[in-house]
Structure 1
């Protein structure tokens, strides 16, 4: 009876509820240290303080753990973007600027940035995780940003452009900056430096790199 009472206690239930996050934290540590392919389920279980059998009570595979990590750390950014685009009263330009700041700041966290980095490096051997990331993160995020671009075009804020290509041009440098910072240690990852990068990127995107020429000023 004592065992049953302990198992039904709030403290025990909280511990059980915490287990999936503990498994994911252990897995992410190992994925960062060893890579996805080299990490075994038994390694994750050992790092999390569980038996391999106990781990399978929460996740049925290493791929399932990775998907859960993406859904915990990355998918909420997409959901926030969807909500922001739906409810904002900001101009399209302001919305793009805010969204890119949010994404760039989140990617400052090495444990968040590690996930798209792992997808890129492991996609060839594990297409299932690449497919999941594309469907739940990339495609959803691109749709949201594409709609904002198209709204800007309709309002006359942006000139007519291919929204799908524009989205890649907006997002690409943000991801490249994250990789340069986290992998090659080029550029600072503090919030001020990230905001400065985003502002510089969007200034060039919105206003161009070429100086205004005499002929342009004269019409």
Structure 2
């Protein structure tokens, strides 16, 4: 193990480099617990161990702080998802199931899950944040899934379906799972609604992909055909 540096300038520089992440972690925790509107900038700074002036050096306003929270905790996951989707190979259903379960497990088990509850409860009063959310999270996330669905249809692995409806059918339950974690489950209400999140994700996507499988026309019920 290398010796710890005794250089105070180096320590301060490392400390300064870590501050943005510490501020974002403190902000997300408070925003989820108290709500965005109810959280004061002073509280975020105090939780991160800095002054309010230091907070504003990095994030000029509370709205900019929330945008940075969204980008830090979910934007990075979106970028990872884009790369994983581009590298996915083999049968499309299998590739999508593995990718989506792994992706959503990381989000659910980490602090990023709280961002969904935060945005859903606060977005109505902050349209600018809503536009940012759609641009940085919603559209890129939907493009990942829709691109894989189109690939499966083009290969003849999936039946032709409405892409938009299929994407929402896949993603909406996952979002609700994250919201449940930070609402009902967080305060121990309606425990009968609690589910094993990873088991649910696997069962959910298996159900989706079973329904998407392309089948010979004669095997499709007449009403559905």
TM-score class normalised by the smaller sequence: 0.7 to 0.9
The question of whether the paired residues in 1 share the 8 Å contact of 2:108 and 2:178 is answered with yes
Structure 1 position 158 matched with structure 2 position 158: yes
For 1:36, what is the secondary structure of its paired residue? coil
1:217 positional shift: 9.1
Match runs of 1:1-219 below 5 Å = 9-109=9-109, 111-185=111-185, 186-188=193-195, 193-208=196-211, 216=219
| Residue aligned with 2:90, SS | coil
What's the CA shift for 1:137?
A: 0.8
2:117–2:182 contact (8 Å) kept in structure 1: no
In the aligned structure 2, how far is the partner of 1:197 from the partner of 1:218?
28
- CA shift, 1:141, in A, is 0.9
Provide the alpha-carbon RMSD of the alignment.
Answer: 2.2
d(CA) in 1 for partners of 2:220, 2:170:
27
Deviations 1:164-195 (A, max 9, x none): 2211111111112222343222324xxxx333
Check the 8 A contact 1:104/1:178 in 2, yes or no. no
Q: State the match for 1:212 in structure 2.
A: none
Equivalent residue for 1:3? none
How many residue pairs get matched?
203
Q: Is the 8 A contact 1:110 1:182 kept in 2?
A: no
- Cα separation, partners in 2 of 1:51 and 1:204, compared to 1, 3 Å: same
CA displacement at 1:45 relative to structure 2: 1.8
Secondary structure of the structure 2 residue equivalent to 1:68: helix
Q: 1:36 to 1:217 in 2, by over 3 A?
A: closer
- Superposed CA deviations along residues 137-162 of structure 1, whole A, max 9, x for unmatched, are 11001011111000100000000112
Pair 125,182 (structure 1): closer, same or farther in 2 beyond 3 Å: same
Which shows bigger deviation, 140-149 or 17-26? 17-26
Q: Deviations for 1:49-74, whole angstroms, at most 9, x for unmatched residues? A: 22222211111111111121222211
Measure, in 2, the Cα distance between the counterparts of 1:178 and 1:42: 28
- The gaps in structure 1 that reach 5 residues or longer are 1-5, 209-214
1:75/1:137 contact within 8 Å kept: yes
Contact kept in structure 1, 2:97 and 2:206, CA below 8 Å: no
Distance, in Å, in 1 between the alignment partners of 2:184 and 2:110 is 13
Once the 2 structures are TM-superposed, how far is the Cα of residue 216 of structure 1 from its aligned partner? 4.8
Look up the SS of the partner of 2:157 in the other structure: coil
Which residue pairs with 1:211 in the alignment? Answer: none
**Which aligned segments of 4 or more residues in structure 1 are displaced greater than 3 angstroms?**
215-219
